[in-house]
Homo-oligomer: A and B are copies of this chain.
Amino acid sequence: MNVLALAGGVGGAKLATGLQAALPPGALTLLVNTGDDFEHWGLTICPDLDTVIYNLAGVNNPETGWGRAEETFTTLRAMSLLGGEDWFGLGDQDLAIHLRRTEWLRQGISLTEITDRLRRSLGISTAVLPMSDTPVRTLVHTDEGDLPFQHYFVRRRCEPLVIDVSFVGADEAQMSEAAQEAIAAADLIVFCPSNPYLSIDPILSIPEMRASLIRATAPIVAVTPIVGGSALKGPAAKMMREMGQMISPLTVVDRYADLLDGFVLDRQDAILRDSIDVPVLVTNTVMTDLDSKTILGRETLAFGALLVAGAPAQGAALDKNVSSS
């Protein structure tokens, strides 16, 4: 089974690691948000691509969620002493990937090709694709004005109130051939438990991408990023409140509406399954270690396989939902 997973940062990278562990090498392809990308210290930084790559390679920092394990920050301190910008935590090991990528981008090599070289050099069997080779930049409209994503997310620590989010360059962005092929070849498509507004929406904001996903024969399953009325990581719940939405998995289901063929709900929210109009898998979605990532990966794949086969996935609630969808 060829599986394509859409992912942003931390939550997406966790499930990606679980899916990779649950599948034969090469069966998984990741399609990753690049709306967070930005220029810093003259380098092109792709935080979500790097988080996914570091997680898949097992060199990520599990405490912070971003960056590499056993990281040092010597260049950052030296940069600060030189009067340079020091609000974004670029580590010494991490810096290598930004230098390599930036040099290749300047040579005219596509981000898709660069990402493929980087994941291979870290020994990753899973294909990792940026959502586009054309820059798309997430802009957060807040009560303090419009903030480029990293200024909202890191510099201002998600404190400003969010009014809306837009994706500069999305309308003109092209899908890469590799992304088109990955969608066409997929037997199952998974939306990882990433922030819908900041991680999955930018991917879907590329008109050709959304159209390809709607056309895709593979069923699309989303895993909830909201558990028990809050987001496990990041500002998803805070943003829902600020944008006048319920802090609920149902808000996520609504968001993906026309794309969704199945939804993975956390046990804490089991009561909501009857309110969801697509087949639902209820399970533990909180990933704390490789085991829990792998279990959620396996369960998501089994649920998806049933949808591929056109069969109901779980008990009565699922039967009801299958019949109503």
Contact = CB atoms under 8 A, between A and B. Distances in A.
A84 B96 contact: yes
Interface string A65-103: 000000010110111011110000000111111011011
A121 B103 CA distance: 27
Contacts of A121: 81-83
Contacts of A102: 42
A100 B75 CA distance: 11
A99 B122 contact: no
B100 A82 contact: yes
Chain A interface main SS type: helix
Given A42-B99, A42-B106, A103-B42, A118 B75 contact: no
B96 A95 contact: no
B122 A96 contact: no
Contact of A78 (B41, B78, B81, B95): B95
Given A82-B121, A83-B121, A97-B82, A75 B92 contact: yes
Interface in A205-227: none
A43 interface: yes
Interface string A30-50: 000000000001110000000
Contacts of A43: 99
Given A92-B72, A93-B75, A41 B122 contact: no
Nearest to A107: B42
B79 A100 contact: yes
Contact of A75 (B75, B77, B79, B82): B75
Contact of A74 (B93, B97, B103): B93
Q: Which 4 A-B pairs have the closest CB atoms?
A: A42-B103, A78-B96, A74-B92, A78-B93
Given A82-B121, A83-B117, A83-B121, 19 more contacts: A41-B99, A41-B103, A42-B99, A42-B103, A42-B106, A72-B72, A75-B75, A75-B92, A75-B95, A75-B99, A78-B92, A78-B94, A78-B97, A79-B96, A81-B96, A81-B121, A82-B100, A82-B118, A84-B96
